[in-house]
Amino acid sequence: MRHPARLERGSLLGGRYRIVSILGTGGMSHVYEAEDLKLPGKIWAIKESVTIMPYEGSMETEAALLTSLRHPRLPQIVDFFVPDEDGYTYLVMEYIDGLTLSEYFKQCRGKIPMEQLTELVLQLLDVLSYLHNLNPPVIYRDLKPSNIMITPEHEVRLIDFGIARSYKPQNAEDTVKLGTAGFAAPEQYGSGQTDARSDLYGLGALLLYLITSGAYTEWIQGVESSIRSDVPRTYIPVARRLLRYNAEERFQSADEVRKELLRIPGGTMPGGDATMTLNGGTRVIALTGASSGVGVTHTAIAISHYLERQNFKVAVIEMSPRSQSFARIQQIAQAGKPVPAGRQFAVDGVHYWKQSGRADILSLLGGVINSS
């Protein structure tokens, strides 16, 4: 049921928030842009909804839920107005500059560049992992293009937690069946209680929608013929598994999906893939600086340990026969113990090679690294 917008340009909410414009309208709510009279120059987004009866997706529930969350890909909540005599309630939150994924998708004419598409999916997996690992887990339940914001820096923000819920182990199924047709998992319509795997189904539907230029959100006969030609073929089994009807047959966690995407060709770290591939699988990341002290060693080590946490076998190589940086790292790692002979040592699963030259690199590419 659609309710009329109560606020208009110039309206004042709570004696503090002056409405600038209407940002969007949905089936159950309206969203406004508002200026803060107590903090001149500060802009907020205000969501107006009508609560007719207590239900799991009420604004009170959304406010309590969002207020407790802390993640860079979620909006900050700053104020909440309880329902008035007509049931109208208001949530004041961080204003996110950018486009919804729906708008960005249209801007790209249904073909978001693959590097950006992969980065978008990895960012969504990051925030889903956070939500699902809370106690109790929070299930978003409405992962669709209009609920995802893309900032000018291509950062992802999840918006509209109107039907999110905490997982309740004692329940056989959800109290309220809600979701967006095409993106909602089967269990959101009465076949069981939603859990983390329901959001992963939604992610699969979104991924399929993006790689078929908006043609499909479920895996049916003939769908593969509509998948974009620039999509790595290895993405197909990932999308297909995410969209299994039976939740037991899907990926069981966001981290599991992320590891699979990072493992296959085409999977990239957030920020893009500045690597070259050798010997059919070995990835080489080369970093250099204009002068000493600009942070190249620190950056190389950070990247190496990030990749190791994603289950890659990693070697980081010091390309200077005269450098002492890795020798000092080895001394710190040994914590006062005798330093073993040789130029190779390991720290937290990452293999370090000290004072290497070009011949060492060629040897490593043909042997140690390529054996992973």
**Statement: residue 176 has pLDDT above 60:** no
Compute the distance between CA of residue 206 and CA of residue 208 in angstroms, rounded to an integer. Answer: 5
Q: Is the dihedral of CA 197, 203, 206, 211 positive or negative?
A: negative
The single residue listed with the structure tokens 């293999």 is 351
**pLDDT at position 350, please?**
84
**Statement: residue 133 has pLDDT above 80:** yes
* Average pLDDT of the residues in 46-69: 69
**pLDDT at position 177, please?**
35
Domain layout of the chain by residue ranges? 12-94, 99-263, 276-371
**pLDDT at position 113, please?**
93
What is this structure's pTM? 0.63
**pLDDT at position 313, please?**
77
Q: 174 near 193, Cβ under 8 Å?
A: yes
**pLDDT at position 232, please?**
87
Domains 12-94 and 99-263 alike in fold: no
Compute the distance between CA of residue 161 and CA of residue 72 in angstroms, rounded to an integer. Answer: 15
Superfamily of domain 99-263 in CATH is Transferase(Phosphotransferase) domain 1 (1.10.510.10)
Highest mean pLDDT among 27-36, 119-128, 276-285: 119-128
Residue range 12-94 forms a domain whose CATH class is alpha beta
